[in-house]
Structure 1
Amino acid sequence: MRCDVITHGNPIITETFTSDPTVLVHDGTTYLYTGHDEAGPGAERFVMRDWLCFSSTDLLSWTPHGPLLRVEDFAWARDGAKASCVVERHGKFWWYLAMNHATVPGGAIGVAVADHPTGPFRDAIGATLVTNDVPDDDGRDHTNDPFVLVHDDRAYLYWGKHRCFWAPLDDSMTALAGPVTEIELPAFEEGVHVHHRNGWFYLSFGHLYPQRVAYARSRSPEGPWTVEGLVNEVPGNCATNRVAIVEFGGEWFCFYHDGTAPGGDARRRSVCVDRLHHDADGRIARVHMTTEGLRG
């Protein structure tokens, strides 16, 4: 049954714990896709089995659409419904997701596809798109937090943990179309996100630990990138930090998660949103994380 969740500031979703936001704007509606934190209070590890979706036409009231995908929908996956990204191309909606692999050490990135932003989604290829040995295996898992940018009818996949990578996607959106390139970023942790505005590409990423979000700029989605400052500071009661930056209604917004909801903590997170501004030179003014959110 569909019902509206009316929020009164940050966090914007209060009925369940949500994390790792990714946002798609389609036909005047904003679709917010999130992870789902199910760990108990004070847990020492994440428990994440599925991904949720909420939609809004004003960013103030949100309609839940329930879990749209579960780890078990991917035959090759074991557990760990990590961060994701949804994009539109060729009249379809492509959902790139990170999970732990069932048989290969470490994690992997897969892709699902649907004809509508709320699905139904299905595994697009029945296999992984990227595994932990791409481009090489240094003993750490680098397959976190996929992000896809579609620009000038080309698609670019970015991902990484401790090391950041990008590669072009082919026209099918289900295979790499060129070499994997590492992006050198200072104290890169995870959570890469790229947005485009007025000829500039902005690459935001988790920086240091506990994580702030820093950003770099380039005139090309392929770089080179120049680090220029912070997007936001360490979120309240939470050591991780991943943003989703989107334009809606002529304004820019920054979605992120924190641990400030009742009963929340670093493994029971909640998505928030505040306005984001660019200065006259196109640089990002640091986002002030508020309890009032967009109602302030």
Structure 2
Amino acid sequence: MVRVSVFIWLLLVAFGVKAQQPETSGNPVVEGWYADPEGAIFESKYWIFPTYSAPYGEQTFMDCFSSPDLVNWTKHAHVIDNKAVKWARKAMWAPAIVQKDGKYFLFFAANDIQSDQEEGGIGIGVADQPEGPYKDYLGKPLLDKFHNGAQPIDQFVFHDKDGQYYMIYGGWQHCNIVRLKDDFTGFEAYADGSLFKEITPEGYVEGPFMFIRNGKYYFMWSEGGWGGPDYSVAYAIADSPFGPFKRIGKILKQDLQVATGAGHHSMINVPGTDDWYIVYHRRPLGETDANHRVTCIDKVEFDADGLIKPVKITFEGVSTRDLR
């Protein structure tokens, strides 16, 4: 029977008949409970680095996923965990990934600290390939204190057009931007001697993200409560990464025909094009457990003035877009 099946397969290949592939990614794009997804492109592949969505005590590792075409995804399990990061005990959250000098740096938050007296905050893992395994880069948190009221969580690493790397982060309705040292071992002071500049816009709760399009800085963030149906994404536009950022409006929110709690996102831009995708989490209809969140992808479009059109969240997801 096996030989017959192989023979039939060879005949199909010889006559150019291919196995039918899915036309769209579908949403969610991967199986399992995952949230806070960071999307990226490395080595001619799309990557997603999410939070494992479970009770805090079970959030002791992170998986990631790769795809050549946005539709077919491969899971890479336990790319980092608290065995490699000794100071991380729980709540390993919201990864942010950067490739620099031949290394991959995975920024993450851990322990959900509530004060400066607790151990935890934002740390960094380092690896030679996107799928890890990652080891603790510093052996301690990069940031373990509150500044300007911002809880040290939900970090995003922004690479500006002048080559400078910034970390934009913050929970508890405050957001800071800090200049990273070139080797990511700490922070550099601004010209006025300060280290932490607050750029919190109206409505900000957590989950910052920034990108440049047509010379403008788009700053995005999550609003509402992460465990509720009103979680959503809003944005602002400015001429610099420091703002000022005046809230324009929401571009991602629940659709009671599709899902609730749509938020904590990132963006993927196909190199050399103006094609953009939003990677985000949401809660399936009927789910009441706050941790029952899934990772999804939908298309993002802009109007003639450069404003982001409201995103329609879908079950279909996005069409195949091969990077190879």
Say yes or no: TM over 0.5.
yes
Provide the secondary structure at the position in 2 that maps to 1:227: coil
**TM-score where L is the length of structure 1:** 0.87
Q: Distance in 2 between matches of 1:291 and 1:181?
A: 39
Q: Could you give the per-residue CA deviations for residues 19-61 of structure 1, whole angstroms, max 9, x where no partner exists?
A: 110012123211111111234xxxxx78422111100111001
Out of 224, 241, 245, which is 2:267 matched to? 245
* 1:47-66 matches, cutoff 5 A: 47-66=58-77
Q: Which residue in the other structure is 1:42 paired with?
A: none
2:281: which partner in 1? 257
Q: Which amino acid in 2 is paired with 1:122?
A: K
The 1-side partners of 2:58 and 2:250 are apart by 29
1:159 counterpart residue number: 169
Task: Work out the CA distance in 2 between the residues paired with 1:227 and 1:201.
Answer: 13
The question of 1:13 aligning with 2:27 is answered no
1:219 correspondence with 2:239: yes
The separation in 2 between residues aligned to 1:116 and 1:174, in whole angstroms, is 20
Deviation at 1:121, TM superposition (A): 1.2
Percent identity between matched residues is 28
Matched, 1:293 2:293: no
Q: Displacement of 1:86 after TM fit?
A: 0.2
TM-fit CA distance, 1:73: 2.1
Structure 2: state its 5+ residue gaps. 1-20, 190-194
Partner of 2:159: 150
Q: Is the 8 A contact 2:202 2:246 kept in 1?
A: no
Alignment coverage as a number of residue pairs? 282
Matched, 1:176 2:187: yes
| 1:183-222 pair list within 5 angstroms | 183-209=199-225, 210-222=230-242
Q: Within 2, Cα distance between the matches of 1:264 and 1:86?
A: 30
- Tell me whether 1:283 sits opposite 2:293 in the alignment: no
- Counterpart of 1:272 in structure 2 is 296
Structure with the largest fraction of strand: 1
Distance in 2 separating the partners of 1:191 and 1:85: 11
Matched, 1:118 2:128: no
Kept after mapping to 1: 8 A contact 2:112/2:153 = no
Code of the aligned partner of 1:248: V
Structure 1 stretches (4+) deviating beyond 6 angstroms? 261-264
**Secondary structure, counterpart of 2:318 in structure 1:** helix
Corresponding residue of 2:252: 232
Mapped contact 2:220–2:234 kept (Cα < 8 A):
yes
User: Could you say which residue in structure 2 is the equivalent of 1:92?
Assistant: 103
Query: Does residue 1:128 correspond to 2:128, yes or no?
Result: no
Alignment pair present for 1:72 and 2:72: no
Deviation per CA, 1:50-80, whole angstroms, max 9, x where unpaired?
1111001110010111110113321222211
* CA–CA separation in structure 2 for the residues paired with 1:276 and 1:237: 18
In 1, the alpha carbon distance for the partners of 2:122 and 2:136 equals 11
- The 2-side partners of 1:280 and 1:46 are apart by 47
CA distance in structure 1 between the aligned counterparts of 2:112 and 2:276, rounded to whole angstroms: 36
For the Cα contact (< 8 Å) 1:147–1:193, is it kept in 2?
A: yes
Q: Is the 8 A contact 2:259 2:285 kept in 1?
A: no
